[in-house]
Amino acid sequence: MASAELPVLKPADYGTDQDVRWCPGCGDYSILAQMKKVMSTLNMSRENTVFVSGIGCSSRFPYYMNTYGMHSIHGRAPAFATGLKSARQDLTVFVITGDGDSLSIGGNHLMHVLRRNVNLNIILFNNRIYGLTKGQYSPTSEQGKVTKSTPMGSIDNPIHPLSVAISCEATFVARSIDVHTKHLQETLERAVGHKGVSFVEVYQNCNVFNDGAYKWATDKDSKSDTVLELEHGKPMIFGKDRDKGIRLNGMTPEVVELGKGISEDDLLFHDAKSTEPTLAYMLTRMSHPEFPEPIGVLRDLDAPCYDDAINYQVQHAKETRGEADLEKLFNSGDTWVVE
């Protein structure tokens, strides 16, 4: 078979020779490793891939990928990526961002890139802290968090990235965890496969400034009780013994134990394809410790992409009005001749 002769790139072939500058033990290492694996698994072309990032520890990511890349300015990566993808639809474009980058300074751009449904893969490394600037609280930090800039505890109400994504009409919304390597790979693969904007929140440990922020979700002993792995079309079941589930009680979800008169059929079934966003939104609001936090693909819809539409208009204009002709344009309408 011809394809067997194509050189298949190994994960390492997607890395650069640059020293990785993250702190030892940082969750970013795992995300980088999974990304290389995914690119290798999907046999993605290096020259047709661009990683665009903002500023932050996470945003150093492009330097470590042997693809094209741009380490841009704080919060604005979605805008660079929108221009790039619109001008060059042939490229696969990733946006790498942090919780501060995407939700503080870049909140506006995130909102608009999502609603426009630009065909990009946005990976948000959520460590619930400003890593690069050495540990101030971020828009996803829990209230009361004591940091250098909040010695008496933060008074800000935190934001849920996935709630933002759903309310901005994102067509692909998912969550995974840095150290859940298999799950992260699968999630990234699906994000790449989705046509339209893909928004993936990755729980990432900053072992220097916010160590253990997701301990509950990564500890072997607790994780099956604190994390709900979503599967399309399947009931929402979790727990070490798969004996707990999520049921809808009126408009609110509740945790129930299976058996004792409650069967799988009483549980909520996950429907990532539902165009109605209410249930997906509800999932984004389920948080530890009251609920297991959902991971996997919350939402996966087909919708027209911005980059298709902007180029379609060009195509359509050419078909209806003819190819560009400067001579004709300049001499159209009212002109006069001076002898």
Partner 1 sequence: MSTTTDENAVVKEVQPLEEATVRFCGDSGDGMQLAGTQFSNTSALAGNDIATFPDFPAEIRAPRGTLAGVSGFQIHFASHDIYTPGETVDALVAMNPAALKTNLADLKSNGVLILNSDAFDKKALGQAGYESNPIEDDSLSGYQVFSMPMTSMTRGAVDGLDLSVKESDRCRNFFAMGLVFWLFGRSMDPTLRFIDAKFSKVPSIAEANRRALKAGYNFGETTDAFRSSYTVEKAKLPAGTYRNMTGNQALAWGLMTAAKLSGKKLFLGSYPITPASDILHELSKYKNFDVLTFQAEDEIAAICSAIGAAYGGEMALTTTSGPGMALKGEAMGLAMMLELPLVIVDVQRGGPSTGLPTKTEQADLLQVMFGRNGESPIPVIAASSPADCFDVAIEAWRLATRFMTPIVVLTDGYIANGSEPWRIPNVADLPKIRVTHPGPRDENDPPFLPYQRNEELARPWAVPGTPGLMHRVGGLEKQDGTGNVSYDPHNHHHMCVTRAQKVANIADVVPAQEVMGAESGKVLVVSWGGTYGACRTAVARLQAQGKSVSHAHVRYMNPFPKNLGQLISQFDKVLVPELNLGQMRLLLRSKYLVDAVGLNKVQGKPFTTTEIAEKIESLLG
Residues that bind partner 1 (CB under 8 A): 16, 18, 46-52, 55, 62-63, 65-73, 76, 78-88, 90-91, 108-109, 111-112, 310-311, 313-314, 316-318, 320-324, 326-327, 329-331, 333-339
**Under the criterion CB under 6 A, does residue 208 sit at the interface with ligand SF4?**
yes
- From the list 204-212, 254-262, 309-317, 328-336, the region that binds ligand SF4 by CB under 6 A is 204-212
**Under the criterion CB under 6 A, does residue 28 sit at the interface with ligand SF4?**
yes
Q: Are 76 and 108 in contact (CB under 8 A)?
A: no
Q: Which of 158, 25, 24 is nearest to 100 (CA)?
A: 158
- From the list 39-47, 126-134, 185-193, 287-295, the region that binds ligand TPP by CB under 6 A is 126-134
Q: Which of 61, 126, 146 is nearest to 96 (CA)?
A: 61
Q: Which is nearer to partner 1, 251 or 314 (CB)?
A: 314
**How distant, in Å, are the alpha carbons of 20, 130, 252, 302 from that of 278?**
41, 31, 11, 17
**Under the criterion CB under 6 A, does residue 206 sit at the interface with ligand SF4?**
yes
Q: Residues 123-162: x/- map of binding to ligand SF4 (CB under 6 A)?
A: ----x---x-------------------------------
Q: Are 11 and 40 in contact (CB under 8 A)?
A: yes
- In whole angstroms, give the CA distance from residue 179 to residue 5: 34
Q: Are 100 and 130 in contact (CB under 8 A)?
A: yes
**Under the criterion CB under 6 A, does residue 284 sit at the interface with ligand TPP?**
no
Q: Are 55 and 86 in contact (CB under 8 A)?
A: no
Helical axes 306-321 vs 77-87, angle rounded to 10°: 40
Q: Which 3 state secondary structure label does DSSP give 150? A: strand
**Under the criterion CB under 6 A, does residue 67 sit at the interface with ligand TPP?**
no
Q: Which is nearer to partner 1, 60 or 223 (CB)?
A: 60
Q: Which is nearer to partner 1, 4 or 338 (CB)?
A: 338
* DSSP per position, 161-179: HHHHHHHTT-SEEEEEETT
The type of residue at 172 is: F
- From the list 20-28, 238-246, 267-275, 315-323, the region that binds ligand SF4 by CB under 6 A is 20-28
Per CB under 6 A, the list member of 32, 61, 81, 101 interacting with ligand TPP is 101
Please, what's the b/e burial string for 167-193 (b: 16 or more CB within 10 A of its CB; e: otherwise)? ebbbbbbbbbbbbbeebbbbbbbbbbe
**Under the criterion CB under 6 A, does residue 53 sit at the interface with ligand TPP?**
no
**Under the criterion CB under 6 A, does residue 57 sit at the interface with ligand SF4?**
yes
**Nearest distance in Å: CB 207, ligand TPP:** 12
Distance from CA of residue 306 to its chain's centroid? 17
Q: Which residues would be at the binding site for ligand SF4 (CB under 6 A)? A: 22-23, 26, 28, 57, 127, 131, 206-209
Binding site for ligand TPP (CB under 6 A): 55-58, 74, 98-101, 125, 127, 129-133, 138
